[in-house]
Amino acid sequence: MQILESNFIKNFIKMASDGNKMGWHECNGGNLSYRIKDEEILPIKKYFNKNSKWIEIGSCVPKLANEFFLVTGSGKYFSNIESDPKTNIGIIEIDDTGKNYRILWGLIDNGKPTSELPTHLMNHEIKKEAANGLHRIIYHAHTTNIIALTFVLPLKDEVFTRQLWEMITECAVIFPQGVGVVPWMIPGGHEIAEATSVLMKKYNIVIWAHHGTFVSGENFDKTFGLMHTVEKTAEILIKVMSIGGKKQTISNSNIRDLAAAFNLNIKEELLNVSS
């Protein structure tokens, strides 16, 4: 099997293309990574370049030792992934210490993995343990409406969660844990990676103030759907705010009823929060 014929590669490319069509990936904005399954690696191993050099990750992820990831490239445009995947995405391997990676396929012409690789891998490590190995995707997008809200709402997990839950009935079902918020930080470094990973222990959605959104999920459909839902919800909230604000809303009792109907674990402290 040629690498580009693999279903996980096709699904990765489709998700990147879908995100670009939503307008979330201007210029070289955003990044995507996928923790590849063992059974997906076996048929394509013979195509790997195992002579490539090991490079420091910039963080230590021992629980990802010897794992393989498909990642977008640093400085690469999502708009080019579909037409030229070998240049814009690549497969990397983590060494047995969790401190280094090497490029096995793709990212040709001296390409490198996303500059947010430390954040992606630290969060993969967190979600692998927290979700019993089910979560395999970390996705970062420059979601327009979420970014806009970070300029007007207090940068608090409970405020963003409560405001977003009120906008669409299904929101509490789709992200019952809520959302986390990281204050503005310089991207690409250890500090923002650490702050994001702390929140990923509790949430599947983490908002970077004035920058964008990170989400974690089990598969491509669920992960993209999570990003799409939280961004559409933010769009509705902005429209409501722009036409005079809420005159009625989904109440605390409504959310409790929803939680009971769908067997959700809604944190009570999030139901008595206002902006």
Q: How far apart are CA 273 and CA 163, in angstroms?
A: 9
What's the token pair of residue 7?
Answer: 């279903």
Q: How far apart are CA 60 and CA 197, in angstroms?
A: 13
**Can 82 be counted among the known catalytic residues?**
no
* Angle between helical axes of 220-242 and 7-21 (0-180°, round to 10): 10
For residue 197, the Cα-to-chain-centroid distance in whole angstroms is 11
Identity (one letter) of the amino acid at 148? A
Task: Provide the pairing of β-strand 68-72 with 31-35.
Answer: antiparallel
Task: Kindly tell me the burial class for residue 117, based on how many C-beta atoms sit within 10 Å of its own C-beta (0-12, 13-18, 19 or more).
Answer: buried
For residue 45, the Cα-to-chain-centroid distance in whole angstroms is 27
| 160-176 residues labelled b (16+ CB within 10 A) or e (exposed) | bbbbbbbbbeebbebbb
- Supply the DSSP symbol for 51: T
- Set 116, 125, 158, 166: catalytic member: 116
8 A C-beta contact, residue 234 and residue 146: yes
Task: Kindly tell me the burial class for residue 218, based on how many C-beta atoms sit within 10 Å of its own C-beta (0-12, 13-18, 19 or more).
Answer: middle
8 A C-beta contact, residue 157 and residue 181: yes
What's the token pair of residue 48?
Answer: 């790997």
**Which residues have a catalytic role annotated?**
116
